[in-house]
């Protein structure tokens, strides 16, 4: 039922795409359909629909999640008068056009990150969504993953006190023959960039959310292999960076550091985060969180000859509520539509993240620190 939200007792959500991320979104929508969305004591029924180019893939993903409404024509689903929300899970280069069309046809809009690969297009989408009065959201599952979510609560409650630093370590091995993820991530036209575009869309957002607004970045990037291969062995030229080290200067004086790599042999749950502050520290990943208070921090004297005793045993493990982060965020977004109250993260966040990504690329090219204000005016001054 199309009514732009407020009085809705049913909402139809059209998911664009049939890849792994569309599958994750559809699983969450299907779970909400089966359970029913409860908003302020009212039950709102959810009906997912799916678009894909490939009939067989559409049939398979629809069967997996028991989705009745399908289409292989993008415009048909976006323009349909009984679709309320468009949820874009296509490749990065196919975010702008379908989202703009959805706004033009009055739909609430949600998208996988990054909002677009071009900052100007991201700003145009934000302006169009505001003008049309539709609600806009972007997946930032890291804010909703159990570990970071709990970290946010603890920071809010003052566990860390004044923050000194925030570190992110992320990486795993993508072999030269790319068999463990889509190869478009290594092609500039479809991806927009490499690991900065892909992963800093998450890390800039999460760090802004946990620590505060970012003033400046310094990035160094590298390409591990000039040529990679499709799963069938066909070689292609790598156009984007495989690894990046990004230093971050926050407005509140905190220093951040993020190392991200697709050519790293991992040994921990990735990404791994550490936030150190005056009163305590947090060490967390998506599904684990450990804490250490200043008062119980073992005293350590550095002696390069000694075997060091400090270990994870000195940290407290915190129990976490394990919930699907995508489901949590998507449920929150729909709740906002039903109530007529926007939720975050929204496209203002996405535009700020995109500006930071642009700053990081400029930094890598010019080999210098780049202040966010060099990349055009802020959409809003707060984090």
Binding residues for ligand NAD, per CB under 6 A? 17-22, 52-53, 89-92, 94, 112-113, 139, 141, 182, 184
Give the residue with the Cβ less far from ligand NAD, 5 or 137: 137
Give the residue with the Cβ less far from ligand NAD, 128 or 206: 206
* Residue 42, H or E segment: strand 42-51
Q: Helix axis angle, 195-210 relative to 146-156, nearest 10°?
A: 30
Least distance from ligand NAD to the Cβ atom of residue 179, Å: 13
Give the residue with the Cβ less far from ligand NAD, 20 or 340: 20
Least distance from ligand NAD to the Cβ atom of residue 340, Å: 27
Least distance from ligand NAD to the Cβ atom of residue 4, Å: 26
Identify whether 271 is preceded by a cis peptide bond (ω within 30 of 0).
yes
Give the residue with the Cβ less far from ligand NAD, 22 or 219: 22
Would you tell me how many other CB atoms lie within 10 Å of the CB of residue 290?
A: 17
What Cα–Cα distance (Å) separates residue 161 from each residue in 117, 139, 157, 256, 297?
Answer: 36, 29, 9, 16, 15
Least distance from ligand NAD to the Cβ atom of residue 19, Å: 2
Name, in order, each residue with C-beta under 8 angstroms of 377's C-beta and a sequence gap of 6 or more.
none
Give the residue with the Cβ less far from ligand NAD, 94 or 369: 94
DSSP string, 298-365: PP----TTSPP---GGGSEEPP-----HHHHHHHHHHHHHHHT---SS-HHHHHHHHHHHHHHHHHHH
Nearest residue to ligand NAD by CB is: 19
Least distance from ligand NAD to the Cβ atom of residue 63, Å: 16
């Amino acid at each position: 039922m199309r009514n732009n939200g407020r009085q809705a007792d049913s909402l139809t959500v059209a998911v664009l795409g049939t890849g792994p991320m569309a599958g994750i979104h559809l699983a969450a929508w299907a779970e909400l359909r089966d359970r029913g969305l409860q908003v302020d004591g009212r039950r709102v029924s959810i009906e997912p629909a799916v678009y894909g180019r490939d009939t067989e893939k559409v049939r398979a993903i629809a069967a997996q999640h028991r989705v009745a409404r399908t289409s292989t024509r993008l415009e048909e689903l976006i323009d349909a008068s009984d679709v309320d929300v468009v949820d874009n899970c296509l490749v990065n280069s196919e975010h702008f056009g379908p989202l703009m069309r959805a706004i033009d046809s009055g739909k609430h809009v949600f998208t996988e990150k990054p909002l677009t690969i071009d900052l100007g297009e991201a700003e145009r989408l934000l302006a169009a969504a505001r003008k049309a009065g539709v609600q806009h959201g972007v997946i930032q599952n890291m804010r909703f993953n159990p570990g970071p979510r709990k970290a946010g609560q603890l920071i809010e409650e003052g566990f860390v006190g004044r923050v000194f630093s925030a570190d992110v370590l992320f990486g795993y091995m993508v072999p030269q023959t790319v068999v463990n993820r889509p190869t478009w991530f290594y092609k500039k036209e479809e991806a927009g960039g490499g690991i900065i575009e892909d992963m800093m869309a998450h890390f800039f957002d999460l760090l802004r959310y946990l620590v505060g607004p970012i003033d400046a970045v310094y990035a160094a990037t590298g390409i591990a292999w000039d040529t990679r291969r499709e799963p069938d062995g066909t070689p292609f030229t790598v156009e984007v960076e495989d690894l990046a080290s990004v230093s971050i200067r926050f407005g509140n004086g905190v220093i951040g550091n993020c190392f991200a790599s697709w050519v790293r042999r991992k040994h921990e749950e990735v990404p791994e985060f550490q936030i150190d502050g005056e009163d305590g520290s947090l060490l967390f990943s998506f599904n684990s969180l450990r804490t250490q208070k200043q008062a119980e921090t073992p005293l350590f004297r550095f002696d390069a000859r000694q075997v060091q005793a400090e270990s994870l045993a000195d940290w407290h493990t915190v129990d976490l509520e394990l919930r699907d982060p995508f489901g949590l965020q998507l449920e929150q977004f729909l709740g906002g539509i039903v109530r007529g109250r926007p939720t975050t993260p929204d496209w203002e966040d996405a535009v700020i993240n995109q500006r930071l990504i642009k700053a990081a690329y400029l930094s890598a090219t010019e080999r210098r620190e780049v202040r966010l204000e060099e990349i055009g005016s802020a959409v809003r001054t707060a984090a």
